[in-house]
């Protein structure tokens, strides 16, 4: 809805937050400890160190990690060097949907 109405800063903020929450939910589900962080990279490292694999590109991790503070406390753009456009938001949303799908598979009850 935010993307459809071109509320791009808010769109990116919600995308970053959803990815962060999916990764934290995975750690909680598998009872793995983690420290308070908003860093997608740090959460991915913790998951990996615990043998939990979620596929996301380094570029997407870097991009998502640039979003949190500027969107939480915006002075202009959600991005540090330029204003977001619809394509940037669509790409970020695609990455978030990929993570959502993987987490749902990891957390789905296993049929015996």
pLDDT in tens, 29-66: 999 999 899 999 999 999 999 999 999 999 999 999 98
pTM of the prediction?
0.84
Mean pLDDT (whole number) for 16-34: 96
CB 44 within 8 A of CB 56: yes
- Which helix (H) or strand (E) segment holds residue 64: the answer is helix 58-72
Quickly state the pLDDT bin for 77 (edges 50, 70, 90).
low
Mean pLDDT (whole number) for 101-107: 95
Q: What are the start-end ranges of the E strands in the chain?
A: none
CB 12 within 8 A of CB 89: yes
User: Does residue 71 carry a pLDDT above 80?
Assistant: no
Q: Quote the pLDDT of residue 84.
A: 84
């Amino acid at each position: 809805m935010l993307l459809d109405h071109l509320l791009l800063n808010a769109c990116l903020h919600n995308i970053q937050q959803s990815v962060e929450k999916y990764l934290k939910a995975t750690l909680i589900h598998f009872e793995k400890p983690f420290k308070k962080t908003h860093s997608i990279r740090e959460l991915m490292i913790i998951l990996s160190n615990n043998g939990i694999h979620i596929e996301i590109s380094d570029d997407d991790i870097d991009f998502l990690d640039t979003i949190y503070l500027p969107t939480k406390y915006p002075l202009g753009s959600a991005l540090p060097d330029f204003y977001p456009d619809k394509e940037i938001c669509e790409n970020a949303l695609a990455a978030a949907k990929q993570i959502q799908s993987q987490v749902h598979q990891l957390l789905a009850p296993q049929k015996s």
